[in-house]
Amino acid sequence: MGGAAALQAGGYLPALGGVQETGEVAASAEQLDALSGEVAALRDQVQSAPAAPAENGAAAEQLTALGQRIETLETSASTAGAEATAGLQQAGETAVAAQQTATAAQETAAAAQETANAAQQAATAAQQSATQANEAATATQQAAEQASAKVDEAAAQFESRIAGMEANNRRADGALAAANLKSAIDQGGPFMSQLETYAEATGAGAATEDLRAFAADGVPSKQALAAEWPAVEDKIAESLRPAQPDAPVQEQLLSGLRSLVQVRPAGPAPAEAKGPDAVLSRLNAAIESGDLAGWQSEWQTLPQAGQDVSQDFASRVAARLTADRVVAEALSSALAPAPAGGADSQPPADQPTGQANQG
């Protein structure tokens, strides 16, 4: 009992009222081993103690109860030690499992980081590939646009050259038709066929209308007009010097003689010279030189009597002038250099580009 009291006072045994639960394991494994050793030593002492006298029965009962409590205590200590050992083992296993879990988590995090890095690298590579593809597409688009522009330019040049060749062919056909028309007109005979060919080749409209009135019968040549002129000239001279009915016989005789014999100065009279003789002189010089335009201008200054007797001849001269003008304009238009603006800027055939010399 004294030993139990000492153990209880030393804190190795719990109080008789029961073990107080503190919720924590106070003793370590070494302390539990030491407690077990002391309990075993105490049991040995109790067992080796001499039996107490009969009168001390109460004390014996107390010792028996104390021994039972010691056994209970020993059992509790063993159980607590086992539980502590199991708890420590479980805690170790839990710590190992937690360490393994942490290691696995760390490995998973590392793998996730590697995966994220790989994904980032893949995304960067994809972005670079997309940028390169975009640049390649832009370059291809630019090359296609440049090629299309070159094709359009080549096609435009080709079409322009074809149009120029066609225009040159039309101009050549028009020039040939105009030359044939001029040759037919110069011969003095009908030229309707040549006129129609020229109109078809050049698309001329108004330019040919002035000739249609003479195409069936033709227009006189300059040689034919020069051959007809002397008779016409005599008619004009006679009309400008009529004999007066009440004039003396001598004056009427002289007037008749003047109509038979024409005396004119050599060469044309000066432009400022007046009178019938001066006008006739200039008309004669114009016919001889082939200046039909000059003849027509001078004829318009004749008195009305002179114009009346020569109206038919003047109309033939006008027809020849019209033919010469139209043919000259047609040849000028057909033989003129191509305009710088191309075939589209070529003037139509019925709008000649220039006026050639008459004749």
Per-residue three-class SS string for 109-148? HHHHHHHHHHHHHHHHHHHHHHHHHHHHHHHHHHHHHHHH
Half-sphere exposure of 202 (CA within 13 A, CB side): 35
Burial category of 337 from C-beta neighbours within 10 Å (exposed 0-12, middle 13-18, buried 19 and up): exposed
Which residues touch 121 (CB under 8 Å, ≥6 apart)? none
Per-residue three-class SS string for 216-282? CCCCCCHHHHHHHHHHHHHHHHHHHCCCCCCCCHHHHHHHHHHHHCCCCCCCCCCCCCCCHHHHHHH
Q: How many CB atoms lie within 10 A of CB 352?
A: 21
- Helix, strand or coil, per DSSP, at residue 359: coil
CA distances from 295 to 80, 280, 311 (A): 160, 10, 13
- In the prediction, which pLDDT does 157 show? 83
- In the prediction, which pLDDT does 11 show? 64
pLDDT single digits (tens) 128-157: 988 998 898 899 899 889 988 888 888 888
Q: How many CB atoms lie within 10 A of CB 214?
A: 20
DSSP state of 25: -
- In the prediction, which pLDDT does 312 show? 94
291 touches 307 (CB < 8 A): no
How far, rounded to the nearest angstrom, does the alpha carbon of residue 238 sit from its chain's CA centroid? 83
Does the global pTM surpass 0.85? no
Measured between alpha carbons, how far apart are the two ends of the chain, in Å?
A: 175
Q: How far apart are CA 288 and CA 271, in angstroms?
A: 17
- In the prediction, which pLDDT does 247 show? 46
Closest CA to 315 of 329, 330, 301, 295: 295
143 touches 175 (CB < 8 A): no
Positions in the chain whose pLDDT score sits under 50: 18-26, 52, 54-55, 243-244, 247, 251-252, 254, 257-263, 265-266, 342-359
Q: How far apart are CA 276 and CA 261, in angstroms?
A: 15
- Rounded to 10 degrees, the C-alpha dihedral 296/298/301/303 comes to -80
DSSP state of 54: G
Q: How many CB atoms lie within 10 A of CB 189?
A: 11
Q: How many residues does the chain have?
A: 359
- In the prediction, which pLDDT does 75 show? 81
Q: How many CB atoms lie within 10 A of CB 2?
A: 7
How far, rounded to the nearest angstrom, does the alpha carbon of residue 6 sit from its chain's CA centroid? 113
- In the prediction, which pLDDT does 342 show? 47
Buried b (16+ CB within 10 A) or exposed e, 85-118: eeeeeeeeeeeeeeeeeeeeeeeeeeeeeeeeee
pLDDT single digits (tens) 47-73: 676 554 544 566 667 777 777 877 787
